Structure formats: structure tokens, C-alpha cells
Amino acid sequence: MQTDEQGILDYLKAFRHSFVPAKEIARKVGGKERFDRDHGWAIPVLSQMVRLGQIETDHLGGYRIKEEKKKHEKEQHVSPQLLKILKSSGKKFDGVNFDDSKSEPPIPVYRKPASADGGES
């Protein structure tokens, strides 16, 4: 990775969820002298980074680090009574995991505490 690309990535890390204009990137990353010589020096570098999939752009010409789309397997907790109804319905639920071990917690047993004198009242 070239130093320009690394500098741009480091700068864009501070703006992870918002798009930054190319002109601002060129000014902040390249320094004042480089920006004064060529205002658009960052455009080819940014275009290459977009093609490589390192960053993304919006319709206004702003750039940001590409966010990874996470595939979450959503887990839905269901009461034991509802789980029993769904199982007894006879319908097929493709892609649904009916895990009985998670749905039915053990029932706690409560005992009456013994009195201090040793006898029951």
C-alpha cells in the first residue's frame, strides 16, 4: 500500500460514519504545499481505492472507509407454551431452530425454612 493510500485511510478512520469531500482529504492529508500545487492530487488515488473496495463514495463526491455488512442470524426467544403450540401445529418452519434446552428452564423448588427451635409450626 502506498503512503498516500495509507494516509487517506488513517484520515478517514476519524470519520468512519460520515462522508468526507475529496478536496478536504487532499488538503488535510497532502499538506499545504502539495494542496497549493495541485488541488486534485487525491482524486486518482481515491478512485483507485474505490475500485479496490477499500473505501466507498456517495453521490456528492464524499468518501469514507467501506463499512462491512454484517450478517446477523437473528435469534428469537419464544415462551415454552408458544413453542409447544408451534410444534404441535404440524406446519414446517424451514430455517427455524427449535432448541428445547434453551426454552424450558428448570423449575426451582422452594422449601419452607425450618424454625429455629427445630420443630415445625
Tell me the pLDDT tens digit for each residue of 46-105. 999 999 999 999 999 899 998 876 666 666 677 788 878 887 888 877 666 666 555 455
DSSP string, 44-98: HHHHHHHHHTSEEE-TTSEEEEPPPPP---------HHHHHHHHHT----TT---
pLDDT at 39 over 70: yes
Amino acid 78: pLDDT: 73
pTM of the model: 0.56
CA 121 to chain centre: 59
Tell me the pLDDT tens digit for each residue of 1-23. 588 999 999 999 999 889 999 99
